[in-house]
Structure 1
Amino acid sequence: MFSPRLLVILVAAVCPAFADKPLNEIAEKEAGKLPKGGLVTGESIAGVTRFEGVGKLEPDGIAPEKRVFEIGSITKVFTGLLLADAVEAKKVRLDSTLKELLGDEVTFADPDVAAITLVQLSTHTSGLPRLPDNMGWFIGLSNDPYKKYDRKDALKFLAKAELDHAPPFPASYSNYGVGLLGELLSGIQQKSYADLVAEKITGPLGMKDTVVVLDKDQVFGTVTAGKQANLVLLDANPVDSLENFTKIYRVINRGIVFNPDSLVAETPAALAQRQLNAYNMRNIEAFLEPYAEDVEIYTYPNTLLGKGKDVMRKNYAAMFESTPNLHCEVLGRIVQGNVVIDKERV
């Protein structure tokens, strides 16, 4: 329950108070107030359906009715509906407690936590926090902080949680509490949360575009006649070697074909940085790539140490192999025309 996120094609209904205006005009006015993002509307009048996208919708080139939105905490309503369904089916009661449902699985540090009921989880009156304290320090850096948070983590937090007094509490928003409710209902029904939503809610309502897990076409798109493609064409098979991902033949963006050489001009500073990055990775082939085949290595001012990539490969490969902690830090860089001078600390 904690990892999947419901996504939906968003369609707004016409409010009678605004029937004198097209819905997209109303939405466009509201979208102008948004710092980013946009709105998609769907309006059906006299049997004619019209979709419009307004605001800063990204990426371009997607029909309004095909855009997918993450609906976030609207899924809490779905979880509440699943609770109501389980109560109707006499699988649980609204006042079923965590102790009743998890007594054999969790040893509660606080009996007040054990006394929390399902309806209190759904109505945010359980006293449990918005988020548990065992989600990791990286939570704020992730687009999906719940992805690796599972039942085991949820119950581990629940076992040590403490409340100031017995529930209920004044309503206080708790993602953790409703997530725990969804996990409990999945266990009681012996079905995944995604399957429960499809079976009990989206399926009966015909909401075919509302899903917990995107299918392959929704993730990667499809290539068919009339569509604008975003593709990267490689010169070699990446299955043979990951380095083949760097061998880009053409880039197709929004239906326009680009030669990668025309996108990013090679500069002396870029070459210097590329060989430095490879040096720190101790990747000999990537390190040699920016150099000419007849490269010459000198000590200042004019003593030739070697010539050609083969000589460099022999000398540097041995150093890369024998020095696992090798690292070079650039303390200063001077670029003058096609000359790059780095002050380095190794």
Structure 2
Amino acid sequence: MSSANQNIIDLENTLNQSVIGQEHVVRALILSLLSGGHVLLEGLPGTAKTRSVKALADNLQLAFGRIQFTPDLLPSDVTGSEVYREVGGKPDLSFKPGPIFNSIVLADEINRAPAKVQAALLEAMAEETVTAAGDTVHLPQPFMVLATQNPIEQEGTYPLPEAQMDRFLMKVDVAYPKVDAELDIIRLVRSEEKSHHSQQSTTTNKPEFDVNAVLEGKEAIKSIHIAENVEQYIVDIVMSTREPELYPNSALGRWVAVGASPRASIALDRCARASAWLAGRDFVTPDDVRTVVHPILGHRISLTFDAAAEGISSTEVIDEILQHVLLT
């Protein structure tokens, strides 16, 4: 196990101590960070979505920017705009970068902003550049957008279209914590309040995280071996959403309206290799694929009216896929 690998594992353990009861969220953030992707966190209020993002940025010690999405937000509020000023008595227009020019960007309640603002954010995510006054400005590296949205408040919101959600590497459902975790949360917050009151930060003696470990991890993942049958397994999983008739004994044909795009195959390949690297292996197993398939595939498939009428979720559809698509 390399030092970079151990540093990332230590980072994951530290985040799990700050964000209790949401281990699957922390793992998704780590995998996306290594895979160079962005994450959409959907959950009820108070489920530590924002806390997770802040904890990640704090531990990575990278530039952090937060955008609170509101209906009156403009694209320039995200990307930045040209500012007029006088330089040496002469008029001058200079570009003032927006909050997107940070390594870790929190797009809070992304579904509250209109389509133009969402499009500006997603374009920057895809291209990792912003065009202003005819010049292309590159975003910092590493660069990661973590967006949140609330599933229960739909009035006055602008839901992300499926085609735009496809640009997120993962979509993670953040549920309420269980009983034991809830107790630990109360104790953690109480401890933080005591530390704050006594002006003794809990992070005073925290070792600095070497951000180069992320860059080394990204490079190492490129060399992780994936066998042909595992590659075919990934393709078969994605193809089952597009051609469900290939599995007549399943309910996929009745449940899936629109299948996943090739971005799903690419994401499964990247994240499965990242999962293998985190486990200290130099090869991918089918379990690595199954581990990441739900957050990668769930937001990339559209369900039929029959599925909605039966109360079928994307999680159940993916479970059905894994039951019928077998490794060859």
- Give the shorter-chain TM-score range: under 0.3
Q: Which has the larger radius of gyration?
A: 1
Greater fraction helix: 2
